[in-house]
């Protein structure tokens, strides 16, 4: 009989072929590299405590790239899920309004071109929010994102953008993104 249990890293499954665990990684906005249409420069906000943010515009899609070294024990068929952490930076806070983001990525290995074609962008939202200035908000975890040609030990380029054309993005103010979190599967059966 298959057994499954949960840990703080994710779930394990001892039945069937192969075992896996979810793992999580956080990329702070300071690690982001300007994309095709970059958000505001890195700044800080302070409300007792201080954090780094980059304001993503409410009227135009803006993007940053994150670089991730895929672990050697990533599951061969792994996709990732993601969520975005951001702060309400404007005094005009959302009132049943939301924000939408998209993530797309490609993996490159030795001899592959930096200009690899990104996979399909997948959206995630924080919809119908009513928060105050300096509140931290997370989007929901996204559906599966396919990183084109993802392979163990390779370098993945992930492009995060605020998707202002998404119907769920109706909060007409900038938001201060502070992190991107990803979730993926690692093999428990060795590399």
pLDDT at residue number 164: 97
Sign for the CA dihedral angle at 91, 98, 184, 159 comes to negative
For 150-185, what is each residue's pLDDT tens digit? 999 999 999 999 999 999 999 999 999 999 999 999
For 82-118, what is each residue's pLDDT tens digit? 999 999 999 999 999 999 999 999 999 999 999 999 9
Q: Yes or no: say if 37 and 57 are a contact pair by the CB < 8 Å rule.
A: no
More confident residue, 7 or 101: 101
pTM value surpassing 0.85: yes
Domain ranges of the chain: 22-187
pLDDT band (50, 70, 90) for residue 14: very low
- Tell me which residue of 35, 69, 75 sits closest to 156, measured CA to CA: 69
User: Residue 13: is its pLDDT beyond 50?
Assistant: no
Those residues whose C-beta lies under 8 Å from the C-beta of residue 180, and which sit 6 or more positions away, are: 26, 27, 29, 32, 66, 82, 83, 84, 85, 103, 158, 160
> Hey, what are 51's tokens?
């954090």
Q: Is 51 helix (H, G, I), strand (E, B) or coil?
A: strand
Mean pLDDT, rounded, of the chain: 90
> Hey, what are 184's tokens?
């993926």
pLDDT at residue number 18: 58
Which CATH number is associated with domain 22-187?
2.60.120
Give ∠ CA 106-79-23 in degrees, rounded to 5: 110
Burial (CB count within 10 angstroms: exposed 0-12, middle 13-18, buried 19+), residue 13: middle
């Amino acid at each position: 009989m298959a057994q499954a249990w949960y840990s703080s890293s994710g779930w394990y499954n001892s039945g069937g072929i192969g075992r896996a665990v979810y793992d999580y990684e956080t990329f702070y906005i300071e690690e982001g590299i300007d994309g095709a249409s970059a958000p505001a420069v890195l700044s800080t906000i302070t409300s007792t405590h201080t954090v780094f943010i980059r304001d993503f515009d409410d009227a135009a899609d803006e993007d940053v790239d994150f670089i991730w070294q895929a672990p050697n024990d990533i599951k061969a068929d792994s996709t990732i899920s993601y969520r975005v952490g951001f702060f309400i930076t404007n005094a005009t806070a959302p009132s049943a309004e939301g924000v939408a983001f998209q993530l797309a990525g490609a993996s490159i290995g030795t001899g592959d071109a930096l200009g690899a074609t990104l996979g399909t962008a997948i959206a995630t939202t924080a919809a119908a929010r009513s928060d105050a200035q300096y509140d931290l908000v997370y989007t929901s975890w996204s559906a599966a994102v396919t990183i084109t040609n993802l392979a163990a030990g390779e370098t993945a380029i992930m492009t995060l953008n605020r998707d202002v054309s998404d119907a769920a993005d109706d909060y007409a103010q900038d938001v201060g993104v502070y992190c991107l979190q990803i979730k993926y599967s690692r093999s428990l059966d060795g590399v």
